[in-house]
Amino acid sequence: MEGELDIWTKVVVVVVAVVSLPFQHEAESRITAGTQEGGRSHKVIRNETYQLVLDTVFPREAPAANYSVVLRFRPSFHPESQIVIKRGSNETEVIEYTSLSGNIYSKLDEIIRDGTNEDATEMAKLIKVRRRLIQIPSSKVRQWYTDFLGSFGESLKRLRRESERFDKSGTINVAADGTFYDLWYTQGVSEMAFSFYDLEVNEHPVGMLRIVQWMNKVRGEVAILK
């Protein structure tokens, strides 16, 4: 297990670098400092503020004794959501967060257009979120964990092919109006963070990268549990 984690630690920079290549900054794809509408410019929400609001309404919870995995979904149009999977020594906890205010980015953008000050703390109070503690067998969580580790290897192969294609052609395929898939993995004092851009949630197929397909599979299975 330690050997596997060492491998992931070494490739995290590669994964983020390749996935982020088309954007340089998330602002270039969906969030800008201003936009034009009908010949007039208006202010839009800054990415930093948006992220602070998400971190407030979607807490990543305290670390678990064994490991924890946090999956955050930031679609272009659908409501944002987050799943926290915590594995302790004798217990497992799965928590689902879902925006009840629709797409949070769009909501914050509307608030900014109305002239409200860009204060993440105050804005977060305007967002309604449903929090569900999911009862789930430990065996299911162990299967998720096994699939999670396996999906990384397959995703790295695809990212490597995309990188080689870019070296040859100078182009790369990017999904229009897709979803940002954020993932945090914590074990002990070690933490890794990833951000992938792929197809919009609720579309078919459920993602181009295996890790995104896995995230959407977990999301779908959690949604039907009570």
Residue 177: how many CA atoms within 13 Å on its side-chain side?
4
Residues 68 and 54 sit within 8 Å (Cβ to Cβ): no
Q: Is 37 helix (H, G, I), strand (E, B) or coil?
A: strand
- Diameter over CA atoms, the chain: 61
pLDDT for the residue 78: 96
Query: In angstroms, rounded to a whole number, what is the distance separating the alpha carbons of residues 185 and 67?
Result: 7
Q: Is 109 helix (H, G, I), strand (E, B) or coil?
A: helix
Question: DSSP code of 13?
Answer: H
H or E stretch at 154: helix 138-169
* Structure-block tokens of residue 156: 């790295």
Query: In angstroms, rounded to a whole number, what is the distance separating the alpha carbons of residues 95 and 99?
Result: 14
In this structure, which amino acid lies at residue 54?
L
Please report how the helices 138-169 and 2-20 are oriented relative to each other, as an axis angle in degrees rounded to 10.
50
Neighbours of 50 (CB within 10 A): 23
pLDDT for the residue 209: 92
In this structure, which amino acid lies at residue 189?
V
Residues 207 and 199 sit within 8 Å (Cβ to Cβ): yes
pLDDT for the residue 218: 96
H or E stretch at 158: helix 138-169
pLDDT (tens, 9 = 90+) of the chain, 226 residues, equals 444 444 333 333 334 333 433 343 443 335 344 454 555 556 789 999 999 999 999 999 777 778 899 999 999 999 999 999 998 877 889 999 999 999 999 999 999 988 888 999 999 999 999 999 998 888 999 999 999 999 988 898 888 888 888 888 887 777 778 999 999 999 888 899 999 999 999 877 788 899 999 999 999 999 998 7
How big is the CA angle at 62 (ends 102 and 196), to the nearest 5 degrees? 50
Each domain of the chain, given as residue ranges in start order, spans 2-28+58-103+127-223
Residue 186: how many CA atoms within 13 Å on its side-chain side?
17
Q: What are phi and psi of 97, to 5 degrees?
A: -115, 135
- Distance between terminal CA atoms of the chain? 32
CA proximity to 103, closest of 179, 37, 216, 203? 179
